[in-house]
């Protein structure tokens, strides 16, 4: 753009869309879509079938259950979808979950959600799909938001950039807190129940520059820290971390291919305490104190890309490493912990891929193949007495490894400029996390055992879709069948005892659709739904689960919304979300009812770029059950929360 006769050039090293991506089920959200909520995970729920493990949002969910999945095939605390920011994985190196408070919506320009296993350039972890985020860019203050509201909630966030000679800088920061709410209903709660709270901070800085003709060097650093009270006496969590990345990219030019090199490092730590609850919920007894969980993840990737008259192609390779250990106290007796436990190890996954796409008349044809190797090694579990340091248990787990071929293929046919048909088939995999392999844990009165013999999950799927649009309407619909092999599930093996196991297969036929319609210049509507009829085929491993639905898997998800601008300065945004019943446990004994929630925001533009607003979440004050314990205690997500704020958009 031009300002005062001077040209400001914004460069970026963001990865281009994978070749042939339009042949797959892709949903794209822009900055306005993502800033519809103060929490990125909530804004992403516009995508039908996208959810965290439980119904909690990141406002109240423990970090260990903030993994994200797509298509409601079988949610997981570790997450079965890969989240990237400009190509860098955002999943935690120890547990696979995502710390959403480290990704403020003000920092993100767009999101591309690819549903279905993401073989090809995405690689391991993209089991049910990919959420590819692109960081914003620009000069000056681009977005800012400050709000305060019920339950002593407050938040401030801003993002913006500057030009420093040949270097483009972009930074963001966010801080939020809430005094929270008691998650157990008044009829069931006791003196041991306390509010779930959150205090979170994050900051990031990116620097980019053109280092030689067309070649861009980008470096980014991000920091986050969040502290939570978990809703019971003697329970809390704190997550903190640092991320670093460097990218060197050169776009494809006439008679010369483009290429991209990237390296990243992610360090994280988790402190998490849990407690056993008395039968009358009047008191708790500390169960364990996970006082630190140092973990390091790092990776590299390289890609070469070019276009021929008849073919767009990309070849590449990537590798990801993780090393981490949980250190905790347990065995509470006579007012103190008596035992110490260290559990952890290392994992590696890396592979090579090739993908090509060809446009032939009205056809788009694409094929990608990939081969990966995975290893888990250095697994250990060491327990010792705190009184004198005597080792009471020392286990070393054998290293395990394997190779996994995956692929994806798609075809799209343009019936007319406004209507298309498409089909796709794919295979993907996710290697188990360090947390699933090595760390046993206890929450409340329920103990879950780790399992170092876990194998990677593999997903195979086919789908058929149609869609189209014009200036006023865009729509898409897809029918799919996915089969998840070796699903890693917490299987009940005794009273208050579970173990992580590869629990047979999960078969998930389904339908998903979404539409956006601009009725007029003043009115825009959106709607989406997902039906996923997932059931377990336990085979010989867990025959008792055959025919049941996976834990925390809803059958129906329906979303809708409207944006109305009755006059120039006033905007009204409203949204609805319905989710069908689900079960809190693998045996389908603990049923969580359906839930309908409504959100709304009314904003008034005070002057150019600056608006005042009032917003409300869960306006019907619906009781949204998030989980139920084996003794029948139900926990709930946030009640109605109203806030006032000021926002700025460049």
- 165 SS3 class: coil
Alpha carbon separation from 364 to 76, 308, 421, 424, 466 (Å, rounded): 34, 15, 10, 12, 14
Nearest to 649 by CA among 615, 620, 611: 611
Nearest to 462 by CA among 415, 504, 411: 411
List of residues 6+ apart from 188 with CB closer than 8 A: 281, 632, 633, 634
Give the CATH number of domain 22-649: 2.40.170.20
Res 540 pLDDT > 90? no
- Pick the range with the lowest mean pLDDT from 191-200, 454-463, 518-527, 629-638: 629-638
List the domain boundaries for the chain.
22-649
Three state DSSP letters for 397-420: CCCEEEEEEEEEEEEEEEEECCEE
Nearest to 64 by CA among 189, 238, 221, 280: 238
pLDDT tens track for 557-591: 999 999 999 999 999 999 999 999 999 998 999 99
On the 0-12 / 13-18 / 19+ scale of CB atoms within 10 A, 229 is middle
Q: What is the helix, strand, coil percentage profile of the chain, to 5?
A: 5, 65, 30
- Pick the range with the lowest mean pLDDT from 14-28, 34-48, 129-143: 14-28
pLDDT on residue 76? 85
Q: How confident is the model at residue 6 (pLDDT cuts 50, 70, 90)?
A: very low
Q: How confident is the model at residue 490 (pLDDT cuts 50, 70, 90)?
A: confident
Res 606 pLDDT > 60? yes
pLDDT on residue 621? 95
Res 622 pLDDT > 50? yes
Q: How confident is the model at residue 361 (pLDDT cuts 50, 70, 90)?
A: very high
pLDDT tens track for 500-516: 999 899 999 999 999 99
Nearest to 630 by CA among 471, 415, 444: 444
Instruction: Report how far residue 92's alpha carbon sits from residue 97's, in angstroms, rounded to the nearest whole number.
Output: 5
pLDDT tens track for 169-188: 999 999 999 999 999 999 99
Instruction: Report how far residue 57's alpha carbon sits from residue 415's, in angstroms, rounded to the nearest whole number.
Output: 40
Res 9 pLDDT > 70? no
Q: How confident is the model at residue 252 (pLDDT cuts 50, 70, 90)?
A: confident
The residues facing 167 across adjacent strands are 164, 209
Alpha carbon separation from 31 to 28, 37, 111, 143, 573 (Å, rounded): 10, 11, 8, 10, 15
Mean pLDDT across the stretch 586-600? Answer: 95
- Indicate the average pLDDT of the chain: 93
**pTM value surpassing 0.85:** yes
pLDDT on residue 12? 59
Q: How confident is the model at residue 432 (pLDDT cuts 50, 70, 90)?
A: very high
Three state DSSP letters for 506-571: EEEEEEEEEEEEECCCCEEEEEEEEEECCEEECCCCCHHHCCCCCCCCCCEEEEEEEEEEEECCEE
pLDDT on residue 444? 67
Res 3 pLDDT > 50? no
Instruction: Report how far residue 489's alpha carbon sits from residue 615's, in angstroms, rounded to the nearest whole number.
Output: 38
For residue 256 the two structure tokens come to 């010369």
User: Which residue would you say has higher pLDDT here, 630 or 283?
Assistant: 283
* Distance in angstroms between the alpha carbons of the first and the last residue of the chain: 14
């Amino acid at each position: 753009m031009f300002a005062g006769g001077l040209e400001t050039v914004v460069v970026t090293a963001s990865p281009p869309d994978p070749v042939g991506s339009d042949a797959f089920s892709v949903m794209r959200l822009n900055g306005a879509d993502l800033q519809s909520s103060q929490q990125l995970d909530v804004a992403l729920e516009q995508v039908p079938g996208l959810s965290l493990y439980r119904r909690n949002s990141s406002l109240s969910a423990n970090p260990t259950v903030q993994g994200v999945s797509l298509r409601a095939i079988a949610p997981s605390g570790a997450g079965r979808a890969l989240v990237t920011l400009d190509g860098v994985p955002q999943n935690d190196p120890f547990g696979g979950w995502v710390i959403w408070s480290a990704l403020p919506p003000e920092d993100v320009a767009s999101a591309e959600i690819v549903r279905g296993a993401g073989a090809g350039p995405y690689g391991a972890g993209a089991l049910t799909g990919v959420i590819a985020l692109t960081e914003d860019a620009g000069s000056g203050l681009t977005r800012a938001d400050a709000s305060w509201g019920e339950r002593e909630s407050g938040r401030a966030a801003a993002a913006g950039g500057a030009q420093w000679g040949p270097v483009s800088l972009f930074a963001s920061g966010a801080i939020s807190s809430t005094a929270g709410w008691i998650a157990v209903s008044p009829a069931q709660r006791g003196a041991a129940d306390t509010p779930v709270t959150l205090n979170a901070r994050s900051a990031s800085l990116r620097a980019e520059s053109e280092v030689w003709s067309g070649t861009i060097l980008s470096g980014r650093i991000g920091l986050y820290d969040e502290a939570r009270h978990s809703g019971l006496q003697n329970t809390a969590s704190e997550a903190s971390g640092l991320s670093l990345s460097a990218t060197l990219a050169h776009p494809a030019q006439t008679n010369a291919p483009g290429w991209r090199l990237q390296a990243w490092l992610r360090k994280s730590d988790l402190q998490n305490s849990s407690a056993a609850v008395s039968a009358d919920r009047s008191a708790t007894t500390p169960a364990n104190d996970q006082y630190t969980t140092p973990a390091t993840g790092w990776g590299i990737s390289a890609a070469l890309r070019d276009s021929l008259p008849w073919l767009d192609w990309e070849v590449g390779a990537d590798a990801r490493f993780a090393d981490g250990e949980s250190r905790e106290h347990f065995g509470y007796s006579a007012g103190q912990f008596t035992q110490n436990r260290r559990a952890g190890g290392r994992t590696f996954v890396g592979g090579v891929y090739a993908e090509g796409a060809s446009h032939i008349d009205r056809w788009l044809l694409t094929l990608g193949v990939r081969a990966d190797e995975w290893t888990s090694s250095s697994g250990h579990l060491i327990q010792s007495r705190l009184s004198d340091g005597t080792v009471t248990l020392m286990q070393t787990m054998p290293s395990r490894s394997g190779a996994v071929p995956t692929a994806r293929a798609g075809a799209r046919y343009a019936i007319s400029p406004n209507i298309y048909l498409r089909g796709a088939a794919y295979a993907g995999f996710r290697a188990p996390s360090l947390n699933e392999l090595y760390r046993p844990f206890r929450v409340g009165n329920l103990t879950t055992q780790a399992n170092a013999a876990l194998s990677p999950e593999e997903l195979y799927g086919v789908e058929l879709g149609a869609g189209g649009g014009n200036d006023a309407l865009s729509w898409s619909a897809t029918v799919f069948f996915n089969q998840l092999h070796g699903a890693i599930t917490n299987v009940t093996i005794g009273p208050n005892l579970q173990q992580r196991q590869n629990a047979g297969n999960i078969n998930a036929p389904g339908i998903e659709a979404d539409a956006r319609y601009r009725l007029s210049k003043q009115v825009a509507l959106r709607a989406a739904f997902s039906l996923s009829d997932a059931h377990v085929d336990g085979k010989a491993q867990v025959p008792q689960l055959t025919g049941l639905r996976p834990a925390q898997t809803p059958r129906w998800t329906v979303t809708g919304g409207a944006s109305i601008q009755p006059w120039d300065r006033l905007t009204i945004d409203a949204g609805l979300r319905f989710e069908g019943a689900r079960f809190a446990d693998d045996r389908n004994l603990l049923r969580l009812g359906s839930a309908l929630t409504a959100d709304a925001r009314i904003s008034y533009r005070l002057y150019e770029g600056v608006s005042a607003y009032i917003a409300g979440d869960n306006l019907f004050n619906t009781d949204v059950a998030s989980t139920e314990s084996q003794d029948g205690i139900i926990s709930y997500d946030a009640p109605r929360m109203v806030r006032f704020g000021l926002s700025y958009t460049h």
